[in-house]
């Protein structure tokens, strides 16, 4: 249902090349991000920093939010070259942000099948008031759902997409890893309360707002049609953000060719014969426009504008 209406398709050889995971580039990107995280933690915990360390935690939350995009690459088996490698890497990236990789994977693949129409596992999200926007931005509605998902998985209650014994077994394994991770973080917090607060718990609290900020533009206001050219938005952003979010800003290009590795999405964008028709310049610009519209009582911000029908002319004239 979710196929492009673009008249020209890319060369199959080029697509195959773009869909091939580059393990060295992935390792370099992943290693760089982890080193930056560790270095930021080191700076934040220096005595002279004091409670300014909260600002470092805010940045760490942004870095952590990119973990979901690395896991997303694993969902499409474009992060590494093997099924097993992507499975392990997806669990590695998802666990620190409380993401059950198996459930996320199968729910997300359904989203690709039914983007913007009935059956989509990412339902339409629009805001009628600024208060509703800010409430969601805070992350408050999300955390109870994550806790319930862990509990339901222990009860062997799964989404419809987790429909086979193998998927359920993997989901339970991910739940064990998540639980073990939480226990480890609690133990470390008891031993080093301030360090864990700055290095993990505050960043984790900032993760949901950061993911909301980065993901909301993807389909906002574009619900109701199956074509990628009409239901998905790309944000151009800048190289700094693109680095940490694994090129997830090129969301429309990803939906058109989901097998393409995330580190190649910028090349895919350049290779397309025509630019995607629904594109924003920046995340800040999108949210500033949305906040301004909601402040003024305008609920139509970001919605797709359909071309007006041309008037019919009487051929007998």
pLDDT grade, residue 122 (50/70/90)? very high
- Report yes or no on 16 lying in a domain: yes
* pLDDT, tens only, 33-43: 999 999 999 99
- Report yes or no on 69 lying in a domain: yes
- Report yes or no on 317 lying in a domain: no
What range does the domain containing 131 cover?
Answer: 12-295
* pLDDT, tens only, 237-246: 999 999 999 9
- Report yes or no on 312 lying in a domain: no
Q: Could you tell me how far CA 152 lies from the centroid of its own chain?
A: 23
Domains: count for the chain = 1
- Report yes or no on 7 lying in a domain: no
* pLDDT, tens only, 272-293: 988 899 999 999 999 999 999 9
- Report yes or no on 94 lying in a domain: yes
- Report yes or no on 24 lying in a domain: yes
pLDDT of residue 313: 45
pTM (two decimals): 0.91
* pLDDT, tens only, 159-205: 999 999 999 999 999 999 999 999 999 999 999 999 999 999 999 99
- Report yes or no on 308 lying in a domain: no
């Amino acid at each position: 249902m979710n196929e492009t209406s673009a008249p020209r398709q890319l060369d199959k050889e080029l697509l195959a090349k773009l869909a091939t995971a580059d393990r060295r580039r992935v390792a370099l990107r992943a290693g760089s991000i982890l080193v930056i995280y560790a270095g930021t933690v080191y700076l934040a915990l220096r005595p002279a920093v004091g409670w300014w360390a909260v600002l470092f935690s805010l940045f760490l939350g942004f870095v952590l939010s990119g973990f979901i995009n690395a896991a997303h690459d694993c969902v499409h088996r474009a992060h590494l070259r093997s099924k097993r490698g992507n499975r392990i890497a997806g669990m590695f990236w998802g666990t620190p942000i409380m993401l059950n990789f198996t459930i996320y994977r199968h729910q997300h693949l359904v989203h690709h099948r039914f983007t913007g129409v009935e059956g989509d596992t990412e339902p339409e999200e629009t805001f009628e008031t600024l208060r509703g926007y800010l409430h969601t931005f805070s992350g408050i509605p999300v955390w109870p759902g994550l806790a319930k998902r862990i509990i339901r998985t222990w009860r062997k209650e799964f989404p419809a997409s987790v429909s086979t014994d193998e998927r359920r077994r993997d989901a339970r394994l991910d739940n064990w890893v998540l639980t073990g991770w939480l226990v480890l973080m609690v133990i470390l917090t008891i031993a080093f309360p301030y360090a864990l607060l700055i290095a993990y718990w505050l960043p984790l609290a900032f993760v949901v707002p950061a993911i909301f900020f980065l993901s909301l533009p993807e389909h906002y206001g574009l619900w109701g049609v199956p074509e990628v050219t009409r239901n998905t938005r790309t944000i151009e952003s800048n190289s700094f953000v693109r680095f940490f979010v694994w090129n997830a800003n090129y969301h429309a290009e990803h939906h058109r060719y989901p097998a393409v590795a995330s580190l190649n999405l910028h090349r895919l964008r350049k290779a397309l014969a025509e630019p995607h028709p629904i594109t924003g310049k920046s995340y800040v610009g999108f949210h500033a426009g949305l906040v301004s519209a909601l402040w003024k009582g305008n609920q139509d911000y970001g919605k797709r504008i359909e071309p007006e029908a041309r008037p019919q002319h009487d051929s007998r004239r």
